[in-house]
Structure 1
Amino acid sequence: MDFKSRLKGVIPDGVLDEIPGRFDAIGDIAVLSLPVSAKTYSGSVAEALCCSRKSIRTVLNKRSLLSGDFRTFDFDVIYGGGTETVHREYGFSYKVDLKDSFFTGKLSSERMRVASLVEAGESVFVPFAGVGPFAVPAAKRGGNVIAMELNRKACGYMRENMNLNSVCGSMDVICGDVCCCGSLFGSVTGSLSDSGSSFGCLFDRIIAPAPYGMDDVIPVLSGILKKDGHLHFYSFRPENQVGDFIDYAKGCGFIVEGYSACGNVAPGILRWVFDMRKL
């Protein structure tokens, strides 16, 4: 029985209709977005959810949209306690504190899809890496991965996750701003190579789970990607603006070889992944 079915007769029908039937399960934490009308009944909602999903030990309610440089939410803990958990998907484990780092379980199949494209020995750059859910599988596939993240706390968890998943030998973490990646790469070895990257060569592949409004970073990423290299870029927009993005990517020197929606994030706004090749 789903958790909303358990609430019939407990919460007024009008309020129950406003409560989303879906939630984000991250480890043993469930993340909800309750309407204001349901605030009085949050304890009953949490209890019903935990009864319907025995693995859930903590229930959080989002009090805000993503905000700040680190894309984090404000939460109310409405059941259990603590915002740190270990999320497991497809044989990987990710330790994360949701109050400090962005993470969603809803992209698990997409993370595996894009990781499956990585070939052994490829040089792979993962900007906006968070706690590593895109970077770790790419390293496990045999890629030589550089992951970059601005949030220092997320970087700490990403290093822990390298150990948890035994990829320390094929993955490095840089705490820094992707928009300044040229100078940041330069600071790692002291100077940029002739090919444009301080790592001795341009990257074969870039996996970029970019936050909202970061499409203008594509020219920066192009500068560290090989000719015929692949960029998997995540962008947020309504469906009727997909063509505009494809034209923009073409102007940046890419051809879009495929794209697909991978989740709604707001009414009328979808997260899209664009699989692109540099011309």
Structure 2
Amino acid sequence: MHVKAAKRDWDSRIFDSINIVLLVIFAVIIVVPLWNVVISSFSSGRALAEGGFIFWPSELSLENYRAVFRDSTIWQSFLISVAKTVIGVLTHVFFCAMVGYGLSKKNVRGRKFYVAMGVITMFFSGGMIPTYLLMKSLGLLNSFWVYIIPALLSFYDVIILMNFFRNVPDSLEESAKIDGAGDWRIFISLYIPLSMPAIATIVLFNGVGQWNDFMTTKLYVTDQWLYPLQMKLYEIIVQSQTQSMQNIGGSAVIETATKGVQLATIVITTLPIVVVYPLLQKYFISGMMLGAVKE
């Protein structure tokens, strides 16, 4: 018995050691390029012109960030990104939760048909051109609502919420109905709070998707006042590439300056997600039914 216990303990140590080594390597692969981007964004054009990996800049400079913020449209793009992310996430979660709540009830007529139709939309779509024609017919081109209305429903998120709602004990809903609560009151006051882990996960992933989305703008928006930060970043990269092509064989200062502006814009667009993520992470590990009725 002692030999088996010692062998099991030795195997566990080897397994833990291999895991630690692999996780350290994985962390380095992620952190080092990120560190290089952030530090390079604070480097002067001369330091960037030297090329190579920059662990710490020889010349600290805020000129890249000044160049970004000198562009008056960057603040408008920031407000558009915040507005479409906040409004888009709230409406998406509420709409998906309503559909998931309804489909979680076994007594709903045609429930299997609705679920089957929803699953089909997860694998098939109309394509880019029919979708563009649909947006045009709905009057959503060059409209802020093109960021919100098409993103209202994701049946994948509906399935997640539907499964969470199914796990809510029937006794809780029956108690609420005895107290005189209707479906809306039960949905908002009972099901939503009990499903916060699932909702927080959906908020995070949908929020990241909304914040990083620029294809919607690229396809359906031409008004620059409706450009989000990601589209602004796309424009900066395209303009810098154009300038680089025009200055082939010329000065390298322009090329390194535009590269610095690109890096500064990347840091600015990424920072809000990095700040928000730890605030939502605690919900991933919280118990869904903590404190609920035990049966």
Q: Which structure carries more helix by proportion?
A: 2
Q: Structures share a fold, TM > 0.5?
A: no
Larger Rg: 2
Q: Which structure carries more strand by proportion?
A: 1
TM-score, structure 2 length as denominator? 0.24
| RCO higher in structure (CA 8 A, sep ≥6) | 2
